[in-house]
Amino acid sequence: MPHDVALIALIAAGFVFAAIFGYLADRLHLPPLVGYLVAGVMIGSSTPGFVADTALASQLAEIGIILLMFGVGLHFSAADLLAVRGVAIPGAIGHITIATLLGIGLTSLWGWGIGAGLVFGLSLAVASTVVVLKALEERNLVSTANGRVVVGWLIVEDLAMVLALVLLPAFAGVLGGDADAGAQASTGPIGLTIGITLVKVAAFAAIAIFLGPRVVPWLLTSVARTGSRELFTLSVLAIALGIAFGAAEIFGVSFALGAFFAGLIMSESRLSHRAAADSLPLQNAFSVLFFVSVGMLFDPSVLVREPLMILGVLAVIILGKSLSSFSVVTLLRYPPNIGFAVASGIAQIGEFSFILAALGISLGLLPREGQNLILAGAILSITVNPLVFAGIGRLEKWTISRWPGLTAGYGAAKQERLRRELAAIGAQREARDRQHHLEIEQLIETFPMFDKVDESAQEELLLLFRPRSASPGDRVIRTGDRGDSMYFIASGAVEVQLEDDEIPLRAGSFFGEMALLTGARRTADVVAVDFCQFLVLERRDFNLFMSRHPRLRAAVSSMARERQEMNVSRQKRDQSLDAG
């Protein structure tokens, strides 16, 4: 071909093979993600035939991670994170420490140095965010108390890995790696490096928490007011990818963490549900490419060369991490059900593990064989993760039936406090949603004409309306003024003052439409006779909205004509009475 089509070939082959092997996996009663991993192996460099571009695949996978974490942030909130901090922060830190020590112990049996053991242990300690979220979504657990604890745990793990990525280059020489590479990668003395990292992360969090909720919802509302669906979807993606990329480039945090905060910020907007729905198809598509990219990196021959080493890796990932996380949760005196939930979720490794392994090799800390073992451990642990979920679920049921008194009472106070905090947060979220739906219901009840448009258009109207009030005696419209807006009476009453008559209008009525429909000037005064609340639709918004909804425009025009004809007939009747 006359031009490079590597990206197109990768996307086409990735989706085609993923669809085929995903379907076959489903027919074999396996999770589709197993098929996606096999699809990656098939188009990778370790198998004959077509070989896709691995570098491009990893970048597309990053987009999948960004969109997935963005979606999680949309359904999460800062209050959720604070509610689970008592278990997520000490639990994740304690678990990372134990898992890393297990990795160091395993590598010491192989004769590796402390630096290689540290990188290897950290790589095995961090779970794949994509895999955990997929598993929670399939079981409808993301919004549950246990699901929120697991997500909070993942966020703490990501933050810890960000710090590890910054500190490893600074300690490379001490740990037995390439001192020159470490010196070039680090930004100065170790203390200064740590300080700069913490300041950057704190600055990003402060901007995201305090400035973001003031800017992003306003921006989304402004875009939604245009009525363009594609522009709204584009803006959602621009915010997600823009914040994720900016966070990584400016503040040094991961793309995933930046995207999570982007979703967290956008969750404060009343349009968060619409943003989640618009981004969902892309989340699903690019998360598939993540699993395909993992499969592309895998060399199946390592299964034959080093079976015992792989068994050791899997033992640490599945058994060691599950037991350590459950133990830490139990030691923190939280109930066993939370421990089982965390244990089943984090019994695999993923995206951060690959990044740590690549950094370890570049610093001369980790041998190339270590990366192959990490990839093998990732693919196998991801493949069997559904079985781990099922197995730990059965273990939980057996434990509860075997020791009902212990499991019911242990950590009950902390669980109840956590349940109350999350319930209060959920109630606030539900109240906000109910208020939004109530506004739409009241809009339709007061103005039945708006039932002619769909729910999305009704939400758009709520954004377009400008609230305005008037006291008795206030002149809302003057004769001869240029028509710049249409008024809907939400409450109260007004009087339309014609030359020879006065027409009362109450809640549910509208006025000022004729000047917008005809372009003429105002033909009557409108005076408030009660305390009034108006919903005002300005000329530009009126024209945009009515052009997209011709049925509504026709209804408004018809009612305006009827009103005009009624006014004319009333004037004629009054004139005939005066003449008589």
Per-residue pLDDT at 432: 65
**Is it true that 6-42+74-424 and 448-579 share their CATH fold?**
no
Phi, psi for 44 (deg, rounded to 5): -85, 180
Which pLDDT score is estimated for 102? 93
- Tell me the average pLDDT across 66-73: 78
- Own/partner pairs for 302-308, CB < 8 Å, 24+ apart? 302/372, 302/373, 302/375, 302/376, 303/376, 306/369, 306/372, 306/373
Q: Write down the domain spans for the chain.
A: 6-42+74-424, 448-579
How does DSSP classify residue 452?
G
**Residues 1-34: pLDDT tens digits?**
455 678 888 888 889 999 999 899 888 877 787 7
Mean pLDDT of 375-382: 86
pLDDT above 90 coverage of the chain, percent: 11
| pLDDT surpasses 90 at 120 | yes
Cα-Cα-Cα-Cα dihedral of 64, 67, 68, 71, to 10°? -170
Q: Which two tokens stand for residue 88?
A: 């997520």
Task: Give helix 129-138 / helix 336-345 axis angle, nearest 10°.
Answer: 120
Mean pLDDT value of segment 414-434: 71
Question: Half-sphere exposure of residue 381, counting CA atoms within 13 Å on the CB side?
Answer: 35
Per-residue model confidence (pLDDT) at position 1:
45
Give the pLDDT score at 441.
72
Q: Please say if the pLDDT value at position 106 is more than 90.
A: yes
Listed in sequence order, the residues at least 6 apart from 128 whose beta carbon sits closer than 8 Å to its beta carbon are 348, 349, 350, 351, 352, 353, 378, 382
- Single-letter code of the amino acid located at 104: I
Taking residues 518-526, what's their average pLDDT? 82
Tell me what pLDDT residue 68 has: 74
Q: Rounded mean pLDDT of 339-352?
A: 86
Summarize pLDDT for 155-184 with one digit per residue, the tens. Answer: 888 778 877 877 787 777 777 766 555 555
Residue 577 has pLDDT above 60, yes or no: no
Distance CA 324, CA 332 (A): 12
Average of per-residue pLDDT across 135-155: 83
The whole-number pLDDT of residue 576 equals 58
- CATH code for the domain defined by 448-579: 2.60.120.10
Please, which residues bridge with residue 421 across strands?
none
In sequence order, the 6+-apart residues with CB closer than 8 A to the CB of 74 are 263, 264, 266, 267, 272, 275, 276, 279
Mean pLDDT across the chain = 80
Rounded to the nearest 10 degrees, the angle between the axes of helix 272-297 and helix 54-74 is: 150
What's the whole-number mean pLDDT along residues 515-531?
A: 84
pLDDT more than 70, % of the chain: 88
* Torsion angle of the four alpha carbons 37, 40, 42, 45, in this order, in degrees rounded to the nearest 10: -130
What kind and span of H or E run contains 267? Answer: none
554 contact partners, CB below 8 Å, separation of at least 6: none
User: Looking at the domain that runs over 6-42+74-424, which CATH code has it been given?
Assistant: 1.20.1530.20
User: What is the spatial distance between Cα 553 and Cα 253, in angstroms, rounded to a whole number?
Assistant: 50
pLDDT tier at 107, thresholds 50, 70, 90: very high
Q: How far apart are CA 569 and CA 454, in angstroms?
A: 36
Highest-confidence segment of 37-41, 223-227, 272-276, 446-450: 37-41
Report whether pLDDT(575) > 70: no
